[in-house]
């Protein structure tokens, strides 16, 4: 199978994210909870599902033999070596409350390596994108992560997965981190947090319990902007830890988080 042209994958990701964002934005007013997932606060709306379906239709309409992994269960097995990671609405709780901080996240992996990422924030009119090896962009203009900073002067974004069993541990970890940094931000969208690292509007972001659709696009965008993105002890980002920061700060935060143990009550 010949490798697809990353520019073509980027154009398709941009189209899917734009159409998904337009649909979701039109449906935000008056939206209500349709169902819950891992806990009563882990909600899904009708628009999470409808947006994922639209994105899936756009992607598979153009490339019917690709694989897809979507948050709302939209899996497709493919045969091309290309897999799409889709979070139709990252920041569903913000979406539910009529807030602006939610994003559509679409990434393309080729043979397991992310090559394209798009994060669209419809209400803000912002599109972040990256192609592996070609830098990161916001609305087409190059962006780069903040200059190196000491941990004590770092503005650190974080997120909290909604699984009830994680919450107490997340609070304990935060109580260790908060006194060691400049301040904490909890925006409510992992994809937006990673783009904030990419543009330097925070110095770092960490979360435990995130999923590939949360970080697929944003991790590439942050990496291409000059940040380091990874998990514990040299691993790629994973469910145990998703950490993004400029080199130097990355290691300091990693060494603070690493001894704090697994992120669950059990």
Going by their DSSP bridges, the two strands 204-208 and 155-160 should be labelled as parallel
Residue 10 or 47 with smaller CB distance to ligand IPD: 47
DSSP annotation of 232 reads G
Residue found by looking up tokens 């001894």 in the block:
259
Is 160 among the residues that bind ligand IPD (CB under 6 A)? yes
Residues with Cβ < 8 Å from 179, sequence gap 6 or more? Answer: none
CB of 90 to ligand IPD, least distance (A): 4
Residue found by looking up tokens 């004590």 in the block:
152
* Residue 150, marked binder: no
What track of x and - describes contact with ligand IPD for positions 196 through 235 (by CB under 6 A)?
-----------x-xx---x---------------------
- Binding partner at 263 among ligand IPD, Ca ion, none, C-beta below 5 to 8 Å by kind: none
Is 87 among the residues that bind ligand IPD (CB under 6 A)? yes
Is 101 among the residues that bind ligand IPD (CB under 6 A)? no
Cα–Cα distance measured from residue 165 to residue 177, given in angstroms and rounded to the nearest whole number:
20
Alpha helical stretches, state H, 38-189: 46-62, 92-96, 164-177
Residues with Cβ < 8 Å from 2, sequence gap 6 or more? Answer: none
- Binding partner at 189 among ligand IPD, Ca ion, none, C-beta below 5 to 8 Å by kind: ligand IPD
CB of 204 to Ca ion, least distance (A): 19
CB 238 within 8 A of CB 214: no
Is 122 among the residues that bind ligand IPD (CB under 6 A)? no
Out of 66, 72, 90, 263, the residue judged to bind ligand IPD by CB under 6 A: 90
- Binding partner at 199 among Ca ion, ligand IPD, none, C-beta below 5 to 8 Å by kind: none
Q: 119: closest CA among 141, 133, 102? A: 102
Q: For residue 109, which phi and psi values (nearest 5 degrees)? A: -105, 140
Using CB under 6 A, count the residues that bind ligand IPD: 16
CB of 165 to ligand IPD, least distance (A): 13
Q: What is the dihedral of CA 163, 152, 155, 183, to 10 degrees?
A: 70
Binding residues for Mg(2+): 71, 87, 89-90, 214
Annotated binding residues, written as ranges, equal 71, 87, 89-90, 214
Task: Point out which residues bind ligand IPD (CB under 6 A).
Answer: 71, 87, 90-92, 159-162, 188-190, 207, 209-210, 214
């Amino acid at each position: 199978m010949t490798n697809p042209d990353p520019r073509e994958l980027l154009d398709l990701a941009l189209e899917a994210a734009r159409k998904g964002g337009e649909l979701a934005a039109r449906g935000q007013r008056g939206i209500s909870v349709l169902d819950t997932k891992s806990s009563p606060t882990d909600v899904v709306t009708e628009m999470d599902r409808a947006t994922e379906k639209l994105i899936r239709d756009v992607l598979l309409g153009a490339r019917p033999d690709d694989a897809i992994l979507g948050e709302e269960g939209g899996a497709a097995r493919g045969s091309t070596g290309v897999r799409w990671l889709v979070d139709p609405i990252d920041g569903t709780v913000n979406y539910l409350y009529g807030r602006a901080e939610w994003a559509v996240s679409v990434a393309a992996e080729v043979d397991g390596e992310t090559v394209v990422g798009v994060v669209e924030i419809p209400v803000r009119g912002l599109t972040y994108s990256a192609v592996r090896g070609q830098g990161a962009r916001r609305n087409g203009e190059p962006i780069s992560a903040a200059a190196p900073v000491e941990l004590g002067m770092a503005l650190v974004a974080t997120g909290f997965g909604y699984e009830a069993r994680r919450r107490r541990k997340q609070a304990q970890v935060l109580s260790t981190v908060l006194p060691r940094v400049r301040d904490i931000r909890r925006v409510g969208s992992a994809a937006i947090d990673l783009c904030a690292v990419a543009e330097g509007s925070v110095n770092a972001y960490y979360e435990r319990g995130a999923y590939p659709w949360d970080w697929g696009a944003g991790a590439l965008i942050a990496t291409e902007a000059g940040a380091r993105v990874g998990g514990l002890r040299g691993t790629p980002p994973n469910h145990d830890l998703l950490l993004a920061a400029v080199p130097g700060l990355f290691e300091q935060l990693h060494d603070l988080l690493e001894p704090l143990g697994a992120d669950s009550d059990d």
